[in-house]
Structure 1
Amino acid sequence: MTDLIQTIVTSLVDHPENVVVTEKETGNVLTYQLTVHQDDLGKVIGKQGRIAKAIRTVLFAAASHENKRVQLEIME
């Protein structure tokens, strides 16, 4: 799942070498923390959060067969 996030985000940003995805598991909840370059933060979030919402939708669809909840946190 981290590879999926990294693949999506690196195609959006200008500084793909600064994309870092970390995974935390608490019970049945997987939390992915995404850190990008400060200049690329707006590109990952998008206007009114549309790109971030689209990334989360893809994650929910990919994790639906694992019976776990997935969260994506975009760190500053």
Structure 2
Amino acid sequence: MLELVEYLIGKLVPEGDYSIEMRENGDEAEIVVIAAKKDIGKIIGKQGKIAKAIRTLVKAASAKSSVRYSVVIEERE
């Protein structure tokens, strides 16, 4: 699942300053995208449509998995 998010974010901000990490807790996993302020807008999109699409793709790709994934987008400090 991490590879899917890395691919999608890489296509959105190919020269961007971002990192992706996964935090697992039992049957739940959180994929955290940490990006520079200038790249956050490209990742989230107008009215959050791109972020919602990424979350939908992750949910669909993990439908048969026993792990529940969520995607969180954070700004790098």
- 3-state secondary structure, aligned to 1:22: strand
What are structure 2's unaligned runs of at least 5 residues? Answer: none
Provide the identity percentage.
35
Q: Which amino acid aligns with 1:6?
A: E
Q: Which amino acid aligns with 1:57?
A: T
Which runs of at least 4 in structure 1 moved beyond 6 Å after TM superposition?
A: none
TM-score (norm 1): 0.89
CA deviations on 1:27-55 (whole Å, 9 max, x unpaired) are 21110100122211001001111000000
TM-fit CA distance, 1:15: 2.5
How far apart in 1 are the matches of 2:19 and 2:61?
Answer: 20
What are structure 1's unaligned runs of at least 5 residues? Answer: none
How far apart in 2 are the matches of 1:60 and 1:54?
Answer: 10
- 3-state secondary structure, aligned to 2:13: coil
Q: Which amino acid aligns with 2:3?
A: D
Match of 1:3 in 2: 3
Aligned residues: 75
Task: Please tell me whether the aligned partners of residues 34 and 75 of structure 1 are also in contact (alpha carbons under 8 angstroms).
Answer: yes
How far apart in 2 are the matches of 1:38 and 1:70?
Answer: 24
Match of 1:33 in 2: 32
TM-fit CA distance, 1:20: 1.1
